[in-house]
Structures are given as C-alpha cells and as structure tokens.
Homo-oligomer: A and B are copies of this chain.
C-alpha cells in the first residue's frame, strides 16, 4: 500500500472503513449517511458494505442521535456520530454535556463512553447560516470530553481511527473547507502521538498556532512573512483539549512571540485559554503579549463577506506585525 494521494474527505472515509473492519462494534450514526453517504460523502459506500445496522440513517433529531449513541456505548458499541453541520449540534448539547461527558464519572468508571462525534466545522464554503460555526470551545470547556481537529488527509485518516479506539468521548472537528484538498496518506505507518501538536514549519521570530482550516492559512501567512524577512514558526495544534503544551512552550520560548489563530470569536475561547497558559509558562520569554486572531464577536456573517470574518493571511500577518512591533 504505502502512501496514496487523496482528499481529506476520502481519507476520513477510508479511516472509518478501516475502523469498522477492525472492530465490529464500531457503528456510524447520523443524518443521510447511508445511501447519500452524508452531505459531504464522508460515509460514501459504507452502508452498502457494512449494512444498515452498522451505518444507521437516523431520524432527524440530534439529541436522539447522541442520546441513543450513549445507550449503544453502554451496551458496548462504539458509535461514531456524524453531525451534519456544526450549527446543528446544539440540539444535542444537553446529551453531550450531561451524559456523554459525565457518565464515566457518574458510574465510577464502569461506563466507557467510547464515542466519537464528528463535527464538520468552521466556514469558508459559502454556505448559508448555521453551516460555518466553530463550536469547539463549548466542548473544550466541558470536562469529560476530548476535542481534536485534523488539518491534513494523513492526520484525518489516522486521527479518526485513534479517536474511535479511544475510550473517552472525542469531539472530532473536521475543517469542512479542506475536505476536497488532497495530500499524501501513509496507509501503513501511523504518525506518533497524533493528538500532540506538530510544527508544520519552523521559524524563529514568531510562533503561530492554528488548527483545522486555519493551519493552511497560517502557512500561507508564513510564506508571505518570509518574503518580508520574518521567520514564522507554524504549529498545528491537533489536540485542542487537552492540548500539547510542551511543543507550544518550546516554540514560544524560542521565538518569544505568539499568535493564536482560530475562526471562533475570542471570548471564552480555546485560543484565549492557551494564550493565558503560555503566558504563565513562558512569562519571562515573552517579548510581547500573545495575541489571538479569530472571528469577530458577531454571528457568522452572510458568506459573501465571510472572508472578512475569518482570519485571512492579512489578518494573521497583522497579528504577527503587532507582536513584533509591540511596545515600539
């Protein structure tokens, strides 16, 4: 097999397939994931191959999708839930926060909520309202859950399998705007520590941390900065909660400057919190306060203007400039 070039969508599809082959207890459940293969075709062909009992077309109710998955998990299954879009996870919020996140604790460890909730998240696809949100912060703030995000096909392929194997519930955030981008997937060798942060580009002047769709934007910003003589280190966070502090600290201690990039607005967000922690851990190394470049504090706008809401290369560079020029 070795490596193969494929889209992130295909990589997820292959990853799900492999997980289902390896463990009969793995079930998929979601809206339109059967014949249609999901609105993004991530589950394409899986119902045909694994049957309607393992790839379950759900009645249209998200609380029920998650609520029944809880019961299936109690019964020993490993449900992989597809939320059709980020903005439709909220009807399931209660089940996620009150049951998924807390049942292991409540049962003193007897229940294993080995369950994945796949969430096509972030914007950038020109959709209508509720199809471009970044709700990952709500889940990161909820003890009992893990939150991860992938940014490349290879990570997507391996991360989904790791998430399914994991005995904790994982909110799996898929950057829908990157579904159709291609990359090499090594089908044989899983990357080590797939939930740890990874340096995607080395640099010395500023650390830029990103996840999901913004990783690529950050890399593009680093390209541009390089032309202007600024060396930007770009880190892909991958595990959002918990996150790999060590890799971030090492980088920030080296560069002395950090910009966090996310599509979510800043208030009570993952970026805010990571900047706070890095400030604590790297206080004497920081030449400037850490910044977050993110969405504005408004509902996701009509998508004709979404690129002015999402962190663009320009806005990331502006952040980089600000941490470099701080105080001067």
- A-side residues, CB < 8 A to B, are 63, 87, 90-91, 93-94, 97-98, 101-102, 105-106, 129-130, 137-138, 140-141, 143-144, 241, 264-270, 272-273, 275-276, 279-280, 283-284, 288-292, 296-299, 326-327
Contacts and interface: CB of A to CB of B under 8 A. Distances in A.
Nearest to A130: B98
Given A283-B288, A289-B280, A265 B141 contact: yes
A279 B281 CA distance: 14
Given A137-B141, A140-B267, A326 B283 contact: yes
Nearest to A287: B283
Given A105-B299, A273-B272, A276-B275, A267 B141 contact: yes
A273 B283 CA distance: 17
Nearest to A97: B90
A130 B279 CA distance: 33
Nearest to A93: B93
Contact of A291 (B102, B105, B265, B280): B280
A268 B265 contact: no
Given A98-B130, A129-B106, A141 B269 contact: yes
Contacts of A280: 289-291
Number of copies: 2
A63 B62 CA distance: 14
A106 B272 CA distance: 28
Given A93-B93, A105-B299, A106-B129, A267 B289 contact: no
B94 A143 contact: no
B284 A327 contact: yes
A276 B290 CA distance: 8
Nearest to A63: B91
A228 B272 CA distance: 33
Nearest to A141: B268
Contact of A273 (B90, B94, B273, B289): B273
A93 B141 CA distance: 15
Contacts of A269: 141, 268, 273
Contacts of A264: 141
Contact of A105 (B143, B270, B284, B298): B298
A281 to B, nearest CB: 8
Considering the complex of A and B, which 7 residue pairs feature the smallest CB-CB distances, nearest first? Answer: A90-B94, A272-B273, A93-B93, A141-B268, A280-B289, A137-B268, A91-B94
27 contacts: A90-B94, A91-B94, A102-B129, A102-B299, A105-B299, A106-B129, A106-B299, A140-B268, A141-B265, A141-B267, A141-B268, A141-B269, A143-B265, A143-B297, A144-B298, A266-B273, A268-B268, A268-B270, A269-B273, A273-B273, A275-B276, A276-B276, A279-B289, A280-B289, A280-B291, A283-B289, A284-B327
B290 A279 contact: yes
